[in-house]
Chains A and B, each alone.
Chain A
């Protein structure tokens, strides 16, 4: 259920990404119910505020225009 909601919010982000590139490039954004609910410069602050705003609902977080950079993890000790 959480995973489905996350994928749904990611898909919603994809649809509004071009619009966000114009006004929020470089910002961290939290997406819930298809809309940006919080944006800011720090990942942690965005996550905490989004949690408060949604009351614990699942939301998707990414950095506008830098999705590929922030949605990538290389582990060297594994």
Chain B
């Protein structure tokens, strides 16, 4: 992935690795390009309500899931279909739309499709189609 399309955000502590992702709605009629923060500790991908407003993701619910944060109570939530383009790879997944996050968090539902190398010392991210 070219320089500028990945990075490590030092505004967070610890710093948070990210990559640019293009996200489409299921009909592929609308898309947005955003920073996706690489969240290897999360099972699933989370998007913001702002992204939902732009893409209309809520028109395509596909699953129900029991979701929990660490120490939180389980909550049944609807997950919506979305298409992510990363390094030319198209990955369809079911995302949680949340009003309590400000970032797009890429979970292992997406990351397990990719080869991901993080060099924390050099502050570089390499994402590839394996």
Residues of A within 8 A of B (CB): 2-3, 6-7, 10, 30, 43-45, 47-48, 51, 56, 58-62, 70-78
Stretch at the interface among B47-55, B87-95, B116-124: B87-95
Q: At the interface, is chain B mostly helix, strand, loop or mixed?
A: strand
Query: For residue A75, which residues in chain B have a CB less than 8 angstroms away from its CB?
Result: 39, 41-44, 46, 67-70, 105, 107
Interchain Cβ contacts under 8 Å between A and B, 14 examples: A51-B26, A59-B62, A60-B63, A72-B66, A73-B65, A73-B66, A73-B77, A74-B43, A74-B67, A75-B43, A75-B69, A78-B46, A78-B98, A78-B105
Q: Give B residues with C-beta under 8 Å from A.
A: 26-27, 37, 39, 41-44, 46, 58-70, 72, 77-79, 81, 90-94, 96, 98, 100-101, 105, 107
Chain B nearest CB, measured from A1 CB (Å): 10
Instruction: Please classify the interface of chain A as helix (H, G, I), strand (E, B), loop, or mixed, using the class held by over half of its residues.
Output: mixed
**A61 partner, pick from B41, B42, B63, B105, beta carbons under 8 A:** B63
Residues on A with C-beta less than 8 A from B62 are 6, 30, 47, 59-61
Interface centre among A43, A71, A73, A76 (most CB of B within 10 A): A73
Are B67's CB and A47's CB within 8 A?
A: no
Given the known interface contacts A71-B66, A73-B66, the answer about A78 and B61 at a Cβ–Cβ threshold of 8 Å is no
B58 touches A76 (CB 8 A): no
Q: Is the CB of B65 within 8 A of A71?
A: yes
Asked whether A3 lies within 8 Å of B61 as measured between CB atoms, the reply is yes
**Please, which residue of chain B has its CB at the minimum distance from the CB of A43?**
B92
- A6 touching B78, Cβ below 8 Å: yes
Given contacts A47-B94, A59-B62, 11 further A-B contacts (CB under 8 A): A2-B58, A6-B62, A47-B62, A56-B27, A58-B61, A72-B65, A72-B67, A75-B39, A75-B68, A76-B69, A78-B105
